[in-house]
Amino acid sequence: MASRWTAPPNWPQPPRGWEPAAGWRPDPAWGPPPTGWVFYQDDDDRPGADGDLVCGQGTSRKAAKLASRLEPHLGEAEELRGLFLVNSLRPLLNILAVTSARLIFGTDDLHRRPPKLVLNPEDLVGFALPKGRMGVRLVRDDEHGQPIAITTLVHERDTEALAALVSDLRSRPIPPGPPRGSRVGTPAPSAEVPRDRKASREDRVADIERRGSELLRQAAGRAAEQDVQGEERLIHRALQRCSEGPVFARGALKKSLQAQVDELVQAGELRRRARFIGTVHQLNPVGFSSMPPLMVYDDRIILADACQLFDGDVSASVECDGQVLVHHRPTMTRMAAGAVLPGSALLVGMATAKKETTDTRSARFIVVHPEWRFSIAISPDALGEPRALAAQINKIADTKRDSGGGADDKLSKLERLAALVASGALSASEAERLRGEILRS
């Protein structure tokens, strides 16, 4: 029976058929081989070559079930060689299957969930099984030559069998081919996942940020045309892009896009000549998600994707109704606690009253105009700032009205209408109708 020289899994793998010459010595940087490693092995004496499945610790009883569940994900020429239990930081990953073509990681629920991670022979550069404080780790080198942990724990008794299987896989990989049972023209369930999930996530975040920046550039164009409402709608759409990103990246995305908005405002490209007055925060009765605040500028009032112009006809108020009701009533528990001795008669006169508080108050911040209205719920315990802001809004509106702000407002509306006609956003008939409404108002 022919034998071949087999390199340990932590050494670089030589070409097929290579044997060391006389006097050859391994590079000390490779490290020592595993204890008991056999360098010359029979060609047919490799783990799983005779058809017997190598089962790691804890997999013997479930081997048949796992093998049947994994079979639809294997190629036509691919054979299952070994099954091992692993403990990983990756979500729902506890099974390692070694085949004749690759390493497949997944769960014991493979009939409903496809494998989570697949490593081909070329991905196993620097494969090693170092022993750590909590057990044996499965480690490989990344593209920069840095060791990364694939799993956090492999059973110590499985070390030699797993190392032998991986060494044999790297020396003679078999192409997996199409999954078994797949039909021509029907996409088979893929066992592959993106090689670099972090890079894929970063590309997705960068694409969302790019699209948000494009919307902000369009908003700057609307601001140049004095289309305040179109400008604010585009700003809102740009900031809402962060909800399309990965969950753990949404906060950073929102900060990045908001920083771009602030920079464009300071540069005078967005919210031109708009002076910020204040913000009123909405009260969310459910408490599971944040509610958009009401933002007040001296030329516009914004609530989520709705924007209205601030003119002399605007007025603001704070309304609060309801009251705090306090009820006092005696309870049997408190009467028993007030008894002189245990087991003695309950003394009604020593009973302490239980206090129950019911808060029926509700408060709203209301901004009204002859053509529109904003009304948001606010906390009844913090009415000072909203009332001060409402008074400031009313004072600015009075100033606009007394200084002839109405005529200026009509002129600005007519200018914006002309800009919309020039850009092609409005037809001549629509523009004529709107011009009559503005002059009659």
Confidence of residue 280 (pLDDT cuts 50, 70, 90): very high
What is the pLDDT at residue 79?
Answer: 87
87 residue type, one letter? N
Structure-model confidence comparison of residues 177 and 83, the more confident one: 83
Q: What is the mean pLDDT of residues 70-74?
A: 84
More confident residue, 320 or 414: 320
Using DSSP bridges, classify how beta strands 54-55 and 3-5 pair: parallel, antiparallel or unpaired. Answer: unpaired
The better pLDDT of the pair 320, 92 is held by: 320
pLDDT digit string, tens, across residues 300-316: 999 988 999 999 889 99
**pLDDT per residue as tens digits for the range 97-150:** 999 888 988 887 776 777 878 888 888 888 888 887 767 888 887 777 778 877
When pLDDT is averaged across residues 2-18 and rounded to a whole number, the result is 70
**Helices then strands (H, E): number in the chain?**
9, 18
Domains of the chain, CATH where assigned: 3-171 (2.30.29.30), 194-273 (no CATH), 323-360 (no CATH)
Amino acid identity of 248?
Answer: F
Three-class SS state of 319: strand
pTM reported for the whole predicted model: 0.46
Is 263 within 8 Å of 256 (Cβ atoms)?
A: no
Which of 312, 240, 235, 306 shows the shortest CA–CA distance to 271?
A: 235
Q: Minimum mean pLDDT among 186-190, 199-203, 314-318, 399-403: which range?
A: 186-190
Query: What percent of the chain clears pLDDT 70, i.e. is strictly above it?
Result: 78
Q: Is the pLDDT of residue 288 over 50?
A: no
Q: 330: pLDDT confidence band, cut at 50, 70 and 90?
A: low
The number of angstroms, rounded, from the C-alpha of 26 to the middle of its chain's C-alpha atoms is 47
15 — pLDDT class (breaks 50, 70, 90) = low
Q: Which pLDDT value is given to residue 404?
A: 61
Say what percent of the chain tops pLDDT 90.
21
What tokens appear for 122 in the block?
A: 């070329």
Helices assigned H by DSSP within 191-272: 197-224, 228-240, 250-266
pLDDT (0 to 100) of residue 351: 53
Determine the pLDDT at residue 188.
Answer: 44
Among the listed residues 11, 8, 87, the one whose alpha carbon sits nearest the alpha carbon of residue 40? 8
**pLDDT over threshold 50, residue 185:** no
Q: Residue 231 has what pLDDT?
A: 93
Q: What is the pLDDT of residues 362-396, one digit of tens each?
A: 899 999 998 899 999 998 888 899 999 999 999 99
**Amino acid identity, residue 245?**
G
Average pLDDT of the chain? 79
**Which whole number is the average pLDDT over 6-33?**
77
Predicted local confidence at residue 150, as pLDDT: 79
- Residue 197's identity, in one-letter code, is R
Q: Is 218 exposed, middle or buried (0-12, 13-18, 19+ CB in 10 A)?
A: middle
Q: Which residues contact 281 (CB under 8 A, 6 or more apart)?
A: 291, 293, 378
Residue 282 has pLDDT above 50, yes or no: yes
